[in-house]
Structure 1
Amino acid sequence: MNPVKALEQHGQAIWLDFLARGFIAKGDLTKLIDADGVKGVTSNPSIFEKAIGSSDEYDGAIGAALAQGDRSVGELYEAVAVEDIQHAADVLRPTYDKLEGRDGFVSLEVSPYLALDTKATIVEAERLWAAVKRENLMVKVPATRQGLPAIKQLISKGISVNVTLLFSQKVYVEVAEAYLSGLEALIANGGDPSHVASVASFFVSRIDSAVDKELDDKIATANDPAEKARLEKLKGKIAIANAKIAYQDYKRLFSGDRWKKLQVCGAKPQRLLWASTGTKNKAYSDVVYIEELIGPDTVNTVPPATLDAFRDHGKPRASLEEHVDDARAALKDLANVGVSLDAITDRLVTEAVQLFADSFDKLLGAVAFKRETVLAGGIDTQKLALADDLAKSVKEHGEDWRNTGKIRRLWDRDKSVWTGTDEDKWLGWLTSAAAEKAKLADYTEFAKWVKARGFTDAVVLGMGGSSLGPEVLAHTFAQQPGFPKLHVLDSTDPAQVRTLEHSVTLGTTLFIVSSKSGGTTEPNVMKDYFFARVGETVGADKAGQHFVAVTDPGSSMEKVATEAKFARIFHGDPTIGGRYSVLSPFGMVPAAAAGIDLGQLLDLTMAMVRSCGPDVPPQENPGVQLGLAMGCAGLEGRDKVTITSSKAIADFGAWAEQLIAESTGKDGKGLIPIDGEPLAAPSTYGNDRLFIDLRTDGESDAAHDAKLAALEDAGHPVVRIVLKSADAIGQEFFRFELATAVAGAILGINPFNQPDVESAKIKTRELTAAFETSGVLPPEKPALTTADADLYTDESNVAALRKAGADGTLDSWIKAHLARTQSGDYVALLAYIERNAAHIDTLQSMRLAVRDARHLATCAEFGPRFLHSTGQAYKGGPDSGVFLQITADDANDLAVPGQSASFGVIKAAQARGDFDVLTERGRRALRVHLKGDLGAGLKSLDKAIRDALN
């Protein structure tokens, strides 16, 4: 007789430890059932990973699943796995029926990630049971300390369980107790135990591998030949001995009065199943773990190769109860020679949980790769070109993130991923895209209202993330027919406020006041000004219908908007900080007002959210990979994150700049984003750069591409991101948000607070309060006064600059200031003037002159808008900045209704507050206050900078 088939005569069932789609579809499983009497199938992550990742067998199934709509990697895996399990269960159903539910089972694993979480294990097991909808399913639950109560609970609910990762006799008794207690609870609640089955999967060969290693170590150090022989005799014997004693426990547990009461009600015994029965040591018989463990009411689950071997030369016999005394003696002898089997089995459980999680990582990585391949037309691509040392660091940190499950912990809002302070309170952005999709009907209604009102313009009044996100949308998307043109105002500069006012028609303009707390100075004074101006234009009683507010629930802005009868109030999510808010109402309300297709924007965004999800391992996770590159580069001194963007998405860098700087620049650490610097030859740069280049598919710039390639060839790290179209900008919002959070974890900081921004706000409030009291800002003494400019800094900087050669001229002070730069520094121009094309060009000219002459990174920022973004990194980040603040007399100030402080006074207070915090932090800072004509003053400063560099 076929040796496999002959096992039936000994009461043992053979299950196959293998499952694949083609194997079932081609009838191979059916053949094994018919020829060998196979009575069950088990699956595990390793089997699925090989089938999915190493062949095209599942490509069609994955493609078909995605054709019905995109889904997360975990959902995609489960869809194909459940389908396979169902097919296998259907093939085995005749066996199940014939044996009246005593066999014919297929096993499906609960996620290995949940092995130490009782509640989550129960929830997932129940969900899988419901999804498969097959009576002959067993859900695999590990025999961990947390798994034991889950086993009892699931059995009590009538769910059949395959208890896996079982090594210890002691734990086996606890597993059987959980099964028995579960049956008793089921019966007590009126359930029918006849439809419940369970196996306790006792792992075998891994025990011998672990024990033999310890025995070999002792043999290597033993001097007595008799002792060596004694140790040698124990090798290859312990796993089988352990199993034989466990079987004696099985007979006892399922034969007494307690069991008989359950049996009368129709309960089936929980059979012992021998798992891990493929021989790992080639010195042993390839069928030893079948031949020596044959007995009634047991199962042996074997891989295909072992099944083939036993069919070829296996010798069935009733071996399980042979030499039981010898088994006990072997276990006792093992303890006597100083090897603790309990310690080994405890370690094996821990290792097995990790190994199964590792296998699941590989499996989900393979599914993620397949998903990305199928959705190639819908997901922005990313390519990292890193030098060997940085690539090694990224790989090592990535492996740490995988081993410790940090991406899952991040999505679970575990603050220990960072500093363990309050990070868990600021992670609403992880699910904001999905949350906004649920509000599409409301946004559609709002968009119709905007269009019906005939608004020609929509203006966002905000600062930081609440303004820079909408600004990207305004520059990226063309004006939609019938909808207003979207503008952004994020300045208290009187000229800039006036320019915005002149660019719109007040009577047909919608103002969107964006302020999370409602207490931010800039949105409030901008609102006060334009509310009064609109009231003068359309009537005070109608002004509110030209305003909507976006603010957190219960904020002071909500109260103001209610009292002023704003047309709408949209609530933000209090768990989302401003710089992470673009995919929340702070970005979506302006987008809806502008007629942007939010359904398409969010659908495209969700593709990236899924690609960066908790079920995508770090190696395949684009957000994690970018974050690891940024963080590891920062640790290696490449902390100047240089962002270049193509024309279609040119404004993205300004948004990414504020996100990265405000999130990572603190505690003396951080990344300094560099936006707006056009690429130059590799020799222009120091070794402190990481380049991130974004462009849309189809945009070509041969000169730019050549420079990027040259930088890569020279050893600079380069990240290339290609958007499928500008419409996919939401994907990059999310990728960079996740990447920045990951980089913060690598740097060891809290990426969600902004302590130094708050410090500047406090200084500003103190100065404006002094103005309200006295009618003037507190006096300040210049370090130098000339006809064209006044220079200011603190005593420490004055002393250092005079020592470096500063005398009675502007040129000498600028030269001394720039002479303080060192390798690895950056130079930041902080201009509190109107942000217009001419001034942008002038600052660009200055910064590039510095970059090219000193080979330093440079920033060109306009105040006060940068205060809520890069201002954090400049004050709280690494002390590598050399700051030149530029202020000027306002040609024409602008009053703020209801306040004594004008826009010019508020801007001046902000500039001084900003500068005071810089000097208090010991930064190398110099302020140049230009007098008279601003254009002429900027030209003289430009000349002074160029002269200083010669």
Structure 2
Amino acid sequence: MTSLALASTGAAQAAGVAHLETMVQDRVASRIFAKDSTLWGADAQDESAIRLGWVEAPEVSIALIAEIAELRAAFVAEGINHFVLCGMGGSSLAPEVITATAGVELTVLDSTEPGQVRAAISDRLATTVIVVSSKSGSTLETDSQRRIFEQAFTGAGIDAKSRIVIVTDPGSPLDISAREGGYRKVFNADPNVGGRYSGLTAFGLVPSGLAGVDVAALLDSAAEAAEFLREDDPDNIGLRLGAALGGTSPLRDKIVIVDEGSGIHGFPDWAEQLIAESTGKLGKGVLPVVAGPDSPEVSSGAHDVLTVRLVAEATDVELRENEIAISGDLGAQMMVWEFATAVAGRLLGINPFDQPDVEAAKKAARGLLDSTPAPTNALFTDGAIEVRSASLDASWLDGATTVAQAITALAGTLPSNGYLSVQVYLDRLANAPLAEIRDELVRVTARPVTFGWGPRFLHSTGQFHKGGPGVGVFLQVTGTATTDLAIPERPFTFGELIAAQAAGDAQVLADHQRPVLRLHLQDIDAGVEQLKIVVAALAGNHTDA
């Protein structure tokens, strides 16, 4: 087992000196584990009172272990060995990390992109079971994914309901309809746990356990960490990490998270949604930036950047100034980061358990689906890429006539404490190499850059972009799918749904006075290659300069 340890320097270390004594005196750690809803102020108390179930998840979730194992054994006996998770945000990111770290296969379908959906329903359908995870039971993406799989099973002569497992809150619309409909199994999660804190509940454990992960060991690791985290002690790693995330002075609000051989695969993506959705509101928050060990932000020395390095043993790492190194097993790390995020919320003066701005993009997308407005004309077309702006006032484009000029103009709107968010509404599996432009765009802008796949980021970092500090600028990439895919019993297709989600989110960002450059790839393959070439050239020019 990897030892749970943390080391820090510079502003991160100073934040501990500034806040730890007070937090220990105020008994913040023990009060969190006592589920004291008053810790985040009067305005947050009602929400906090129904969102602190995660502190006891390692113990409460033990009851699930035998039930999951029994169902897995039944599936294996029936020759079913391919598990697909249909979920969004916290419902998908935790199982993705858990299974990847364990080296167990789980297909995660967290998209409405027609090609990605088609690939999922075309892969080993005869031996597939799907886990449909939705806390509210009304998530549009998840409902659409369930519908298309149910149609595919039935079309292949398979009893669809025998291949569908549901994870949802008790009493949700999905809970009621699934039990009435006779689906194979319905698991209820703790309703007093928010989606992004739900990795150690049924949402994280059911798909992971069915796929073959030893979830008992995961819970043991988390429970061991919880024993340390509940202590009102200045050496409490969760208090120290929380102080660094939310208590630097002046606030270093860009948290660059780097995996350097921690053995936990994909953990920065999970931490990104946890921190961004929890802290980004009321014009406040800290922005997690998922980066690589050699990414420009790590060595930039920027005034507003704090680097967190996920390592095998934190006590063996030589740190630069203003860095944190943290090590520990996956279950322990999940508990630590959930706890630290709650602590950071207290220091920032926000409610870490609500997400008031997430719903805005959903409503905008639904409005576009219902009204089907006429498409707007592109400002101009350059090769395979149409260039658009989300706002009526595109004066910031400054007469750009090429994609390169448009990206340069967008970068020119960045404030000295700003960031660029790249939001790509394409098949994230087929187009994974496009993520390589992130580091190059850091060189172009000389500022931190985040990279998110739509629509999944809407359920996580989308909260920060709208509710956090208004210093972001946005590059949205969409594309015209070669073939669309109908959604059973819905008046719109997957292609229309993802287009509405992109357009709706861009409009909400524009309404918040955020600059949004929209690049639409008329031919996805050609457009991706063109965009990579353009960004590489811009980065090269910047380096030469």
User: What band does the TM-score fall into relative to the shorter chain?
Assistant: over 0.9
1:555 is aligned to 172
Return the match for 1:756 from 339, 346, 357: 357
Are the equivalent residues in 2 in contact too, given 1:640–1:689 (CA < 8 A)? yes
SS of the equivalent of 2:439 reads: helix
1:719 is aligned to 324
Are the equivalent residues in 1 in contact too, given 2:444–2:538 (CA < 8 A)? no
Residues 305-362 of structure 1 show CA distances to partners (whole Å, capped at 9, x for unaligned) of: xxxxxxxxxxxxxxxxxxxxxxxxxxxxxxxxxxxxxxxxxxxxxxxxxxxxxxxxxx
1:408 partner amino acid: S
Residues 444 and 592 of structure 1: is their aligned pair in 2 closer, same or farther, counting only changes over 3 Å? Answer: same
1:809 Cα shift? 2.7
Are the equivalent residues in 2 in contact too, given 1:783–1:798 (CA < 8 A)? no
Number of equivalent positions? 535
2:375 partner amino acid: P
Rounded to whole Å, the distance in 2 between the matches of 1:392 and 1:812 is 42
Query: Is 1:651 matched with 2:266?
Result: yes
Are the equivalent residues in 2 in contact too, given 1:787–1:931 (CA < 8 A)? no
SS of the equivalent of 1:900 reads: coil
1:492 is aligned to 112
2:256 partner amino acid: T
1:638 is aligned to 252
2:126 is aligned to 507
Q: Which blocks of at least 5 consecutive residues in structure 2 are unaligned?
A: none
Are the equivalent residues in 2 in contact too, given 1:788–1:937 (CA < 8 A)? yes
1:948 Cα shift? 4.4
1:917 Cα shift? 1.0
Query: Is 1:810 matched with 2:415?
Result: no
Residues 384-443 of structure 1 show CA distances to partners (whole Å, capped at 9, x for unaligned) of: 2221x5533322211111122222222232233113222121111111111011333323
1:458 is aligned to 83
1:885 is aligned to 476
1:683 Cα shift? 5.0
1:691 Cα shift? 1.4
2:13 is aligned to 391
Rounded to whole Å, the distance in 2 between the matches of 1:535 and 1:733 is 38
SS of the equivalent of 1:879 reads: coil
1:919 partner amino acid: A
Rounded to whole Å, the distance in 1 between the matches of 2:348 and 2:536 is 36
1:841 Cα shift? 2.2
Return the match for 2:99 from 474, 484, 488: 474
User: Identity over the aligned pairs, expressed in percent?
Assistant: 35
2:447 is aligned to 856
Query: Is 1:443 matched with 2:34?
Result: no
Give the helix-richer structure, 1 or 2. 1
Query: After superposition, where does 1:593-742 map in structure 2 within 5 Å?
Result: 593-613=210-230, 616-633=231-248, 636-646=250-260, 648-680=263-295, 684-696=300-312, 709=318, 712-713=319-320, 715=321, 717-723=322-328, 728-742=329-343
Return the match for 2:3 from 372, 380, 390: 380
Rounded to whole Å, the distance in 1 between the matches of 2:120 and 2:301 is 37
Residues 392 and 652 of structure 1: is their aligned pair in 2 closer, same or farther, counting only changes over 3 Å? Answer: closer
Rounded to whole Å, the distance in 2 between the matches of 1:641 and 1:691 is 6
Rounded to whole Å, the distance in 1 between the matches of 2:66 and 2:240 is 35
1:462 partner amino acid: G
Residues 664 and 888 of structure 1: is their aligned pair in 2 closer, same or farther, counting only changes over 3 Å? Answer: same
Are the equivalent residues in 2 in contact too, given 1:507–1:538 (CA < 8 A)? no
Residues 396 and 815 of structure 1: is their aligned pair in 2 closer, same or farther, counting only changes over 3 Å? Answer: closer
1:653 partner amino acid: P
1:568 is aligned to 185
2:533 is aligned to 943
SS of the equivalent of 1:875 reads: helix
Residues 514-538 of structure 1 show CA distances to partners (whole Å, capped at 9, x for unaligned) of: 0011111111000000011011113
Rounded to whole Å, the distance in 2 between the matches of 1:946 and 1:598 is 43
Query: After superposition, where does 1:134-213 map in structure 2 within 5 Å?
Result: none
Residues 266-286 of structure 1 show CA distances to partners (whole Å, capped at 9, x for unaligned) of: xxxxxxxxxxxxxxxxxxxxx
Are the equivalent residues in 1 in contact too, given 2:12–2:306 (CA < 8 A)? no
1:544 Cα shift? 0.4
Rounded to whole Å, the distance in 2 between the matches of 1:468 and 1:581 is 10
2:130 partner amino acid: F
1:729 Cα shift? 0.9
Larger Rg: 1
Rounded to whole Å, the distance in 2 between the matches of 1:835 and 1:550 is 24
Query: After superposition, where does 1:148-547 map in structure 2 within 5 Å?
Result: 380-387=3-10, 390-420=12-42, 421=44, 422-479=47-104, 485-502=105-122, 504-539=123-158, 542-547=159-164
Residues 758 and 419 of structure 1: is their aligned pair in 2 closer, same or farther, counting only changes over 3 Å? Answer: farther
Rounded to whole Å, the distance in 2 between the matches of 1:638 and 1:517 is 34
Are the equivalent residues in 1 in contact too, given 2:3–2:313 (CA < 8 A)? no
1:557 partner amino acid: L
Query: Is 1:767 matched with 2:383?
Result: no
Which is worse superposed, 563-572 or 742-751? 563-572
1:595 Cα shift? 2.3
SS of the equivalent of 2:270 reads: helix
Rounded to whole Å, the distance in 2 between the matches of 1:645 and 1:524 is 34
Higher relative contact order (CA 8 A, sep 6+): 2
1:55 is aligned to none
Rounded to whole Å, the distance in 2 between the matches of 1:437 and 1:843 is 38
1:823 is aligned to 416
1:178 is aligned to none
Are the equivalent residues in 1 in contact too, given 2:97–2:270 (CA < 8 A)? yes
1:612 Cα shift? 0.6
2:471 partner amino acid: S
Rounded to whole Å, the distance in 1 between the matches of 2:535 and 2:215 is 46
Residues 269-304 of structure 1 show CA distances to partners (whole Å, capped at 9, x for unaligned) of: xxxxxxxxxxxxxxxxxxxxxxxxxxxxxxxxxxxx
